[in-house]
């Protein structure tokens, strides 16, 4: 069997679906990423149509990985907090494979970002417990121990002060409530303090789109563990998806 050196990643978010081919040796995108808005309503059939468009845009032939904002077990969707509830119980691997005309493997979005950061980015060669948290429409999480993923942790749904954590501290809340970076950072700090108390991580990597602006809010946060921005920024999901698509990283 020939060695797979390139794969194709699609990262599904609450607002957009973006894709690019990836060099698996370096973790770098080999073409400029392309984005299509996530359809409303975000039903399986409509999102499968976008997956097909993204694959066709690059005229891609070969392995494909797709991230999903929810619990994914053996390609089947078990939660859908930020997309249409009709996804629950859907065999996403089968649906997207049919739409793309290629074999597709689906993985939780934050797990994908974590796999990319641990393989190529801020978590590379780091021992112990590493947690990757993605701040966007919600809060996603990837938990690693000595480089091995514990899938589908969904730490954004921890209940803190009677609230789902992501309803108070996701990146979208910063814009929706008109918070200053300092005000939002204090909410994130409160959330991170709980995560540290529960898991005692050696390193927390913060990702998602706001990681590109980490200088505006990260200095306001003081927690009892090392805290760094994601090295791959908002491209981590695409890169992690490509790894899973090529079966370079097996995920339950």
Q: What is the CATH number of the domain that holds 181?
A: 3.30.420.40
pLDDT at residue 124, rounded to an integer: 96
Instruction: Give the residue among 54, 80, 68, 138 at the shortest CA–CA distance from 105.
Output: 68
Residue 250 binned pLDDT confidence (cut-offs 50, 70, 90):
low
Q: Which domain holds residue 179?
A: 125-230
Evaluate if residue 190 carries a pLDDT over 90: yes
Residue 219 lies in a domain: yes
Instruction: Give the residue among 131, 116, 44, 30 at the shortest CA–CA distance from 80.
Output: 44
Residue 251 lies in a domain: no
SS3 99: helix
Is residue 89 located within the same domain as residue 130?
no
* DSSP state letter for 69: S
pLDDT average, residue stretch 65-79: 95
Residue 150 lies in a domain: yes
Residue 118 lies in a domain: no
pLDDT average, residue stretch 27-38: 97
Read off the pLDDT of residues 90-138 as tens digits, 9 standing for 90 and up: 999 999 999 999 999 999 999 999 999 999 999 999 999 999 999 988 8
Residue 3 binned pLDDT confidence (cut-offs 50, 70, 90):
low
Q: Looking at the 3D structure of the chain, how many domains does it have?
A: 2
Read off the pLDDT of residues 206-228 as tens digits, 9 standing for 90 and up: 998 899 999 999 999 999 999 99
Using CA atoms, how far apart are residues 148 and 127, in angstroms rounded to an integer?
Answer: 10
């Amino acid at each position: 069997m020939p060695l797979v050196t390139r794969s194709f990643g699609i990262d599904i978010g609450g607002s957009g679906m973006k894709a690019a081919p990836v060099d698996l040796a370096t973790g770098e995108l080999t073409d400029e990423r392309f984005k299509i808005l996530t359809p409303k309503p975000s039903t399986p059939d409509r999102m499968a149509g976008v997956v097909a468009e993204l694959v066709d845009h690059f005229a891609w032939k070969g392995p494909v990985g797709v991230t999903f904002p929810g619990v994914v077990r053996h390609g089947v969707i078990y939660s859908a907090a930020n997309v249409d509830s009709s996804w629950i119980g859907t065999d996403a691997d089968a649906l997207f494979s049919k739409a793309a005309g290629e074999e597709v493997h689906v993985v939780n979005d934050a797990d994908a970002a974590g796999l990319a950061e641990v393989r190529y980015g801020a978590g590379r060669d780091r021992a112990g417990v590493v947690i990757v948290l993605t701040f966007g429409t919600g809060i996603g999480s990837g938990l690693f121990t000595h480089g091995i993923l514990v899938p589908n942790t969904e730490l954004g749904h921890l209940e803190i002060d009677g609230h789902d954590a992501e309803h108070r501290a996701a990146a979208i809340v910063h814009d929706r409530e008109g918070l200053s970076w300092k005000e939002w950072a204090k909410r994130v700090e409160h959330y991170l303090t709980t995560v540290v108390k529960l898991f005692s991580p050696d390193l927390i990597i913060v990702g998602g789109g706001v990681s590109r602006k980490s200088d505006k809010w990260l200095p306001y946060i003081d927690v009892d563990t090392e805290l760094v921005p994601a090295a791959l920024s908002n491209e981590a999901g695409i890169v992690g998806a490509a790894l899973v698509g090529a079966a370079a990283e097996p995920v339950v």
